[in-house]
Amino acid sequence: MLNLFQSHLHPHQDGLPARTRLSRRVALALCGVAAPLWLAAPAHAGISMVQPPKRIDATKPLELTLLVSEDEQAQRTYQLPATLLVAASADMIPPQQIALQRVDGEDSLTLKQGEFRKVRYRGELPRRLRGMVRIEPIGMDASPVLVAVVRPDPSLGPLPESPDLINTPLADSTSKVAPVAPSATVFTPGANASPIDSAPAAEDILSNNRRLSFNEPMYFTVGHNNGDTNARFQLSFKFRVFVPDDPRSRGLLDNLYLGYTQFSLWDLSAPSAPFRDTSYRPSLYYYLPDVGIQNRVFSRIGIATGLEHESNGRDGTASRSINTYFIEPTFNFGNLNDYHFKVAPKVYAYLGATRDNPDIADYRGHLDLKLAYGKPDGLEVATMLRKGKLGGKYSAETQVTYPLSRLLPGTAGYLMASYFYGYGESLLTYNQKDHPQLRIGYALWR
């Protein structure tokens, strides 16, 4: 068992910053999940956990047991929340909040020196979560855990039983503990926490915890227009050049990324089904998903800025090529793990000669305005708006996505519908107004 909790009431202790000390005082107790307690008096307390099993049987309730002991104070009062929230996510599955209910114990308890008490919380794992599942407590600065979630095949019998450490008799575990009048702050995760601290955002879990990760949306869609059947697909990755010693670093090299995006239009109706056009877009940029600004308006602000090249790799009159410098802040409004709004204006300037397409700014302009509203584990509607320098030269694209795992547990990615209207769906036709196009398909990342 691990002792994970320390007193929190002193603003300074041993010369450490308050936030650093707070992270040490968090009670993380997991039997496949995590939960907190809040102390009522300044001193050390023993909050321990029974180590979770490596495998969890998802056909049974998910259970958390906290072991609370008092070794230093003559007497201490605790407040126990009735409901605890955790965020659980699997590979390519956005985080989903799970509420755990306390199944025994009083709202308040008092322990004398040498006494301890166990408190259990219980909840259900959603069916869409399987394989290696990451579980992270909401509303406290504590490390997540990985567990293997298994739904046993009845024909193969139950999973091997792990030693039942929770119910092992413990000395003094039946010590009488009487409820007392509330005398400590009740900490309810998800209610007192900010949108940033309440749980890991999907962006953090799925795109920023690996060296090679997603960049822009990745999808394959098909549509029919003007008698032609066509497909559109995009691949997009980013690679972190350096991994810093301190993940909080905001240095240039520590947050430098190489990006690559490839976009293609495929004519499925024409003989031999040729590609109408393909654009290749490598980039080198600085990216910080959270600059640390949070207030009543913004729940998170991120920034990306750097150099980007885009060309279609063709020669002669079909050749297209541009180089740009861009800056793209991202503003989030609302709880990042619930329905929230995102605004990301991408401002860019053209660099060097544009011999293949000297008037491209007349049709593309200098700004892509990206708007999105949705929930990490639910529906999202995202729109990109673009207006050229010339009057009436504009384009708009809307993408609607929904997690496929909500419909077919065990799958990943998203069902997708997209609608494009305006100029230049591809770089080749930047100065041509395309027919409105509706497509449906599958997105690996949105």
- Check whether residue 136 and residue 250 sit in a common domain: no
The total number of structural domains in the chain stands at 2
Higher pLDDT, 430 or 76: 430
Task: Produce one character per residue of 29-46: b if its CB has 16 or more CB atoms within 10 Å, e if not.
Answer: bbbbbbbbbbbbeeeebb
pTM: 0.69
- Check whether residue 127 and residue 240 sit in a common domain: no
The answer to whether residue 185 sits within a structural domain is no
In angstroms, the CA 351 to CA 338 distance is 40
The answer to whether residue 161 sits within a structural domain is no
Catalytic pick among 207, 311, 319, 366: 311
The answer to whether residue 315 sits within a structural domain is yes
Note the pLDDT tens digit of each residue in 283-316. Answer: 999 999 999 888 889 999 999 999 999 999 999 9
The answer to whether residue 194 sits within a structural domain is no
Average pLDDT over residues 206-220: 83
Q: What is the CATH number of the domain that holds 68?
A: 2.60.40
Note the pLDDT tens digit of each residue in 54-107. Answer: 788 888 888 877 677 888 888 888 777 788 888 888 878 888 888 989 897 778
pLDDT for residue 265: 96
CA distances for 13 relative to 21, 73, 299, angstroms:
8, 18, 30
In angstroms, the CA 264 to CA 256 distance is 27
- Check whether residue 213 and residue 135 sit in a common domain: no
Q: Which helix (H) or strand (E) holds 84?
A: strand 83-90
Q: Which of 101, 129, 156 is the last residue of a domain?
A: 156
Q: Which of 122, 156, 190 is the last residue of a domain?
A: 156
Is residue 198 part of the annotated active site? The answer reads no
- Check whether residue 291 and residue 419 sit in a common domain: yes
CA distances for 253 relative to 11, 103, 245, 289, angstroms:
34, 49, 12, 15
Q: Which of 156, 174, 190 is the last residue of a domain?
A: 156
Reported confidence tier of residue 149, pLDDT bands at 50, 70, 90? confident
Beta strands in 312-393 (DSSP E): 321-333, 340-350, 367-374, 380-387
Q: What are phi and psi of 419, to 5 degrees?
A: -140, 125
The answer to whether residue 177 sits within a structural domain is no
Catalytic pick among 249, 309, 319, 366: 309
The answer to whether residue 64 sits within a structural domain is yes
Is residue 311 part of the annotated active site? The answer reads yes
Q: 75 with 113: CB under 8 angstroms?
A: yes
Q: List the structure tokens of 105.
A: 């114990």
- Check whether residue 145 and residue 212 sit in a common domain: no
Q: 37 with 80: CB under 8 angstroms?
A: yes
Q: What is the CATH number of the domain that holds 232?
A: 2.40.230.10
The answer to whether residue 313 sits within a structural domain is yes
Q: 66 with 35: CB under 8 angstroms?
A: yes
Range of the domain at 213: 202-445
Higher pLDDT, 154 or 325: 325
- Check whether residue 228 and residue 93 sit in a common domain: no
In angstroms, the CA 304 to CA 288 distance is 6
- Check whether residue 116 and residue 207 sit in a common domain: no
- Check whether residue 136 and residue 233 sit in a common domain: no
